[in-house]
Structure 1
Amino acid sequence: MIMKLHYKGKYNLDPETLPAALHKEGAVQFKEAGSTRELGKKANIIAVVLLITLFIPIVFLRSIDLNGFGFWIGILLSLVCTVPHEIIHALCFREDVYLYTNLKQGMLFVIGIEPMSKARFVFMSVLPSLVFGLIPYLIGLFIPHCAIFLGLGWSSISMGAGDYINIYHALTQMPKGAKTYMSGFHSWWYMPEENGESVSRIG
């Protein structure tokens, strides 16, 4: 199947309105934040820690001019890249993906309910932060006249904080051979049967 992206408009903060999956037999819900607000608080803390940590090498590399416009333009570009960030997530799916926004709450995210392996889930989660974050950050860090990349990467890495939380849950909670899928606000993992994947109930 080919991925189809559906824009669902403003998220009303009610998880019951999000797409729900048919739960797999024996599926286990991830031990994760109980609400978007709780997840947001954790993500914000991680983002601040990343911003401080990643700024230390910038300060010690005196060849980088932070007084110019390049660095700050890069930070502004990171805000523009929030939509492409989600598009890259969506491209890692093979079925329907749903895009939600809530700019007042600073929320922009995609949900797809198809099952995927741990490796594909981790790749899907980290890919935008590699494209807009780590790669530009390293380019800007070691090539002084590429300060715009440095600003873009420095800011974009921190914006992936929520994704890093999902990656941590997958790496620490999913057994070898397990698959995962999203249903509403939460993610689940299960062990697929050798002769097929059974469905137990509607979420």
Structure 2
Amino acid sequence: MVKIKWMGKFDGNLENLPHGEHKPGAVQFKEANDMKKLGLVLNLMAVPLMLIFYAIVFLRGNMQEIMDHFYTYWAGIVVALVCMVPHEFIHAICFRKEAYIYTNLKNGLLFVVGPEDMSKSRFVIMSLMPNLLFGFLPFILYLIFPQLGFLGILGATSIPMGIGDYYNVFNALTQMPRGARTYLYGFHSWWYFPENAEKKD
């Protein structure tokens, strides 16, 4: 059973992050090396994405209903912000051994570190799971039932907040060869080919 540990504020020292040993022939993902710069870029990218989803909510909904239930829509934003921590716990439970949750609110980041390796498919599922639960699922329900404005705003707020996860998924899908496995070492992801090609999650 996975052991989840809340580590609190990240001190900025990558050497203090939990990590195992490098695998033979491991290749580091081509990704940003500066955490501060990465946080800034991703947060800037999230803004237009959020505006697009908000626009969809207001175009899909009835303006009179939106005005009559204005506070319900605001509640969707508040709940989305509250879900930032459960978001990381959902990532964490996708690990099989240990997972460590850190905060770096100065750079607008919360993140999970787990030293175990996993297949590309499980990495993608782990990365997207909280965004599906808190973002896409409520947003799709809103599109079907536009009277559920709370779900629309919850989804429209939560989906862009997963921008860092989409970045990781994009890197995995475009850089990991078939049959490769990935793991975290410090703040970076690495991929390698296991000696036993038949090993599966």
Query: Which of 120, 126, 132 is 1:124 aligned to?
Result: 126
Q: Which residue of 2 aligns with 1:70?
A: 72
Deviation at 1:195, TM superposition (A): 7.2
Q: Which aligned runs of 4 or more in structure 1 are off by greater than 6 angstroms?
A: none
Aligned residues: 196
Instruction: Provide TM-score, normalisation by structure 1.
Output: 0.90
Task: State the TM-score, normalized to the length of structure 2.
Answer: 0.91
Q: Counterpart in 2 of 1:28?
A: 27
The answer for unaligned runs of 5 or more in structure 2 is none
Q: Which has the higher helix share?
A: 2
Tell me which residue corresponds to 1:200.
none
Query: Which residue of the other structure, out of 98, 109, 115, is the alignment partner of 1:113?
Result: 115
Per the alignment, residue 45 of structure 2 pairs with 46
Does the CA contact (< 8 Å) of 1:70 and 1:151 recur in 2? no
Q: Deviations over 1:2-54 (max 9, x none)?
A: 10001112111221211122000000000001121122122113211311222
What are the ranges of 5 or more consecutive residues in structure 1 without an aligned counterpart? 198-203
Alignment RMSD: 1.7
Counterpart residue type for residue 69 of structure 1: Y
CA contact (8 A) 1:7 1:98 kept: yes
Most deviating of 108-117 and 187-196:
187-196
Tell me the secondary structure at the aligned position of residue 153 of structure 1.
helix
Contact 1:118–1:170 under 8 Å retained in 2: yes
Does the 8 Å contact 1:15/1:184 carry over to 2? yes
* Aligned residue number for residue 174 of structure 2: 172
What is the rounded CA distance, in whole Å, between the counterparts of 1:19 and 1:187 in structure 2? 13
Could you tell me how far apart the structure 2 residues matched to 1:107 and 1:35 are? Answer: 13
Q: Per the alignment, in what secondary structure is the counterpart of residue 7 of structure 2?
A: strand
